[in-house]
A and B are shown apart, each in its own frame.
Chain A
Amino acid sequence: MKTKYIIIAFVVTALLQAFAPLKLVYDSEMTARYGTVYKFKTQPIDPSDPFRGKYVSLNFEEDHYETNEAGWTTGEDIYAVIGKDSMGYATITKVVKAEPAPGNNYIKVKTGMYYDGVLHIDLPFDQFYMEEGKAQEAEDGYREYSLEDNAKPAYATVAVKDGAAVVTDVFVDGLPIREYVLRERKH
């Protein structure tokens, strides 16, 4: 191969390589900016990812849908239509196999197990990344807080647009989790 062609091929490869993360930035930014924000009730727990660092793993209450319809295979792409309950928290109002008309009220999800009339759903956002060290504190703090009598539910704010979803923040005791950790440090 001539060097000229190798250089051209390399430039194309390099552009594609740079395009991949930039596309991810663009898509997420669009969803976060122009999506509708829903509050998903959650219980945070803290693990770690070798590539991406420490995160708070989010364990959502709204992760299943009761249906008598059978024929679900695990790991299938489906769409969960999102609504709000009387307290303003997100609920799954129905699940469909075909993509609904573009809008800010549905999320592309994967099916989990279907058992006894309950379809489990893998939401595509179950991690909230935090600075190393703070994730553990957040988890410990949340555990203590949740034992208190008048504990408000913790929730994640999720921006939803055309099937895509981006976690924008996690709130504990009405405070963003980062601020909550800092407040607990002062105590």
Chain B
Amino acid sequence: MAHLLKDLPELVAQNVISPQTATDIEKYYATRKHPETNTMLTIFSAFGGILVGLGIILIFAHNWDNFSKGVKTALAIVPLIIFQVLAGYTIVKNKSSMWKEAAATLVFCMVGASISLVAQVYNISGDFPAFLRTWILLTLPLVYLLNSNAVTVLIICFSTWYAAEAGYFTDNRPYMYLAFMAALLPFYFKYLQKDANSRMAFILNWLMPLSALIAFGAFLNGAGEFGFVLYMAFICLLYNLGLLPYFSSLKHRQTGYLFLGELGIITILLISSFRWVWTEITEHSAPAAPFIITWVVLLLLNAALMFGYKSTRFSINLKWATLVFPLLYFIAVANIPLATIIANLVVLGFGVMTISIGINKLEFRTLNFGLLILAVLTTCRFFDTNISFVIRGLLFLVVGIGFFVANYIVIKKKKDTLNTHQHEN
């Protein structure tokens, strides 16, 4: 930004922009500057709140023997009340967001601290997911009451932690995670509608899908290998959500939905190019009814998103994976080798398509992304022992040479177009 402002006189002098435009640009940045410094202050006050909170927790964790049970209990609860009063004060006086963020994070930390310190006094081992659940439940209202971004981020992280603790490697399903996320949705939607380009919207657009991706597995206990099929549908759902018009004004990497979706779809495609994956998935008995229902619901949601909205267009679109994954599954149920071959062809086709788009649009990134996919696919085949060394060697040679040739073509094409432009001028 500073760079641009410095260049303004030069741009005016060279008649690139009018003096009026220059003043407009200056004015625009002058008005924008204020909220930005404000955000920084808010971020620092939230961090300050977290650090002070952690400091208090650590000091009390020392657990002085000379204090009686009563004193220790009071020490555990009094800081909470002090910070609650502070938070109440910021509401009554309608203090700036900086104050509210600091107060909200302090109360957030103290709620957890007071419960754990009481647990320390009474030697309560407790069950950790239940502790996290209580903590989140008691602090969720702070998001709305103090309009706190920091507590929102903390609650997403803690909910994910809770889901992982409660759901992975146990027979339980962390249903409360769904409730926590649902409770945050209005706050999230408000940002998407009003302030889609803000930092907080960016953070939420990444944290939400990332959290969902981690927590989804916590619900899959008992699904066995069918969980892989469910993850396929879920990742496509994230991707299709990323294609919604809400996000169309944002750049490709500004939403985790598209990025994680893309990465996930390609990873899963590559995994599904192994034959043993399909053997594992199909050799067990049919999955339990709730998982099939979940799968159908996910597919229907995907379909609704795909056909209900006109999606944003990108040069590489992976929408088709939504249909390919269930298709591959059904084929695998009937014929595993066929499904493996098709999965390989799909990856191969996608890689080649990406390369050709890269060459046509003269985009090095797209081109090399396509080449990378082919390289990984080749590497994957390296581990299939039933392909002869000669064929594997040839495959590597082809991909390796492809890297050079394709990049060379793009460089040459770019030079040619640049030359024609110059000639035309």
The answer to whether A binds B is yes
The residues of A with any CB-CB pair to B shorter than 8 Å are 3, 6-7, 9-11, 13-14, 16-18, 20-22, 24-25, 28-29, 32, 49, 51-55, 73-76, 110, 124-132, 134, 166-167, 178
- Find out whether the CB atom of B65 lies under 8 angstroms from the CB atom of A178: yes
Which residues of chain A are within 8 angstroms of B126 by Cβ–Cβ distance? Answer: 124
With A and B bound together, what is the CA distance between A127 and B61 in angstroms? 14
A166-B122 Cα distance, complex, nearest whole Å = 7
CB–CB A22/B62 < 8 A: no
| B118 interface neighbour in A21, A126, A132, A178, Cβ under 8 Å | A21
Chain B 129-162 near chain A by CB (<8 Å), digits 1 or 0: 0000010001101100110000000000000000
Q: Given A3-B94, A128-B123, A14–B88 Cβ distance below 8 Å?
A: yes
Alpha-carbon distance between A32 and B73 when the two chains are bound, in angstroms: 15
Q: Within the complex, what minimum Cβ distance (angstroms) separates B372 from chain A?
A: 40
Given contacts A17-B111, A18-B81, contact A10 B88 (CB under 8 A): yes
* B114 in the interface (beta carbon within 8 A): yes
Contact B122 A28 (CB under 8 A): yes
Check A130 against B141 for contact (C-beta < 8 Å).
Answer: no
Interface size band for B: 35 or more
Q: CB-CB < 8 A to A14: which residues of B? A: 84, 87-88, 107
Interface centre among A10, A17, A74 (most CB of B within 10 A): A17
Question: Can you report 25 residue pairs joining A to B where beta carbons are below 8 Å apart?
Answer: A3-B91, A10-B91, A11-B88, A14-B84, A14-B107, A17-B84, A18-B80, A20-B114, A20-B115, A21-B76, A21-B115, A24-B119, A25-B118, A28-B122, A52-B61, A53-B62, A54-B63, A73-B171, A74-B170, A75-B171, A75-B172, A76-B171, A130-B65, A132-B61, A166-B123
Once the chains bind, are A24 and B87 in contact (CB under 8 Å)?
no
If A6-B145, A125-B124, A127-B123 touch, whether A52 touches B116 (CB-CB below 8 Å) is: yes
CA distance A73 to B238 in the complex (A): 33
Interface pair B124/A6, CB less than 8 Å apart: no
B271 is an interface residue with CB less than 8 A from chain A: no
Q: Is the Cβ of A74 less than 8 Å from the Cβ of B114?
A: no
Contact status B120-A21, CB under 8 Å: no
Q: Which residues of A contact B84 (CB under 8 A)?
A: 14, 17-18
Q: Which of B47-70 contact A (CB under 8 A)?
A: 57, 60-65
Contact of B63 among A16, A124, A132 (CB under 8 A): A132
A24's partner among B81, B118, B127 (CB-CB below 8 A) is: B118
Shortest beta-carbon distance from A158 to chain B in Å? 9
Interface pair B122/A17, CB less than 8 Å apart: no
Residues of B within 8 A of A (CB): 57, 60-65, 73, 76-77, 80-81, 84, 87-88, 91-92, 94, 107, 111-127, 134, 138-139, 141-142, 145-146, 170-172
Closest chain-A Cβ to B129's Cβ sits at a distance in Å of 10
- Nearest first, the 7 closest Cβ-Cβ pairs linking A and B are A53-B61, A28-B122, A51-B116, A167-B123, A52-B120, A21-B114, A13-B141
A167 to B120, CA, bound (A): 11
Beyond A51-B113, A55-B123, 8 additional pairs, beta carbon < 8 A = A10-B141, A17-B139, A20-B134, A29-B122, A52-B120, A76-B171, A126-B125, A130-B63
Report B192 CB to chain A, min CB distance, Å: 20
| With A51-B113, A127-B125, A132-B63: A17-B91 Cβ-Cβ less than 8 Å | no
Residue in chain B with minimal CB distance to A5: B145
In the bound assembly, the distance between CA atoms of A20 and B125 in angstroms comes to 16
Docked complex Cα distance between A67 and B61 (Å):
40
Q: How far is the CA of A7 from the CA of B146 in the complex (A)?
A: 10
CB pair A129–B145 under 8 Å, yes or no, is no
- A134→B126 CA distance, assembly (Å): 23
A52 CA to B92 CA, complexed, in Å:
33
Q: A52-B116, A134-B65 are in contact. Are A24 and B124 (CB under 8 A)?
A: yes
B146 CB, nearest partner CB in chain A, Å? 8
Cα(A18)–Cα(B74), bound, Å: 12
CB distance from B240 to the nearest CB of A (A): 34
Q: Are A21 and B77 in contact (CB under 8 A)?
A: yes
| B77 in contact with A18 (CB, 8 Å) | yes
A79 to chain B minimum Cβ distance, whole angstroms, is 16
Whether A25 and B73, one on each chain, are in contact in the complex, defined by CB atoms closer than 8 angstroms, is yes
CA distance A24 to B113 in the complex (A): 13
State whether A20 touches B138 (Cβ < 8 A): yes
Find the residue from A13, A124, A131, A167 having the highest chain B CB count within 10 A. A13
How far apart are A54's CB and chain B's nearest CB, in angstroms?
7
Q: Contact between B91 and A6 (Cβ–Cβ < 8 Å)?
A: yes
| Residues A129 and B63 in contact, CB atoms below 8 Å apart | yes
Query: B residues within 8 A CB of A51?
Result: 57, 61, 112-113, 116
B180 to chain A, nearest CB (A): 15
Q: Which B residues are in CB contact (< 8 Å) with A73? A: 171
Query: A157 to chain B: closest CB distance in Å?
Result: 11
Q: How far is the CA of A131 from the CA of B72 in the complex (A)?
A: 12
Known: A24-B115, A124-B126, A167-B123. A16 touches B65 (CB 8 A): no
Residue in A16, A25, A29, A52 whose beta carbon sits within 8 Å of that of B138 in the complex: A16
Residues of B within 8 A of A130 (CB): 63, 65
Q: How far does the alpha carbon of A76 sit from the alpha carbon of B120 in the complex, in Å?
A: 25
Q: Determine the residue in chain B with the shortest Cβ distance to A31.
A: B122
Shortest CB-to-CB span from A80 to chain B, Å, is 15
